[in-house]
Amino acid sequence: MKSSTLQLRKISLIEYLLGIQDEKVFAKVESTIHKSIKSVKPADIIFSKEELIKRAEFSNKQIKKGHVLSQKDLETQSKNW
């Protein structure tokens, strides 16, 4: 799979997650992601320069759209990580 295709899939998934309104559905997705992440070691996560730039550009777009969390909300969420 091409890196660009994977990146587009990731962006689509993120946009989908932002639109979820049902707490139960979100909790199931969140739980699945957390279980998957536990099996990945930080050393396994390596980004190319291009991937980091794309991630930064995506983040900037999200900020401009107002898709952000307050510091308080982020701290509350991080307690569940």
pLDDT (tens, 9 = 90+) of the chain, 81 residues, equals 577 788 899 999 999 999 999 999 999 999 998 888 777 666 667 888 888 999 999 999 999 998 888 888 888 888 877
Task: Return the pLDDT at 60.
Answer: 93
Boundaries of domain holding 21: 3-78
Q: CA angle at residue 37 from 9 to 19, to 5 degrees?
A: 45
* Rounded alpha-carbon distances, angstroms, from residue 34 to 4, 21, 30, 39: 24, 19, 6, 9
Task: Return the pLDDT at 1.
Answer: 57
Provide the Cα torsion 77, 26, 32, 3; round to 10°. -90
When divided into structural domains, the chain yields a total of: 1
Q: Rounded to whole angstroms, how far apart are CA atoms 11 and 55?
A: 10
Distance of CA 61 to the CA centre of its chain: 14
Task: Return the pLDDT at 64.
Answer: 93
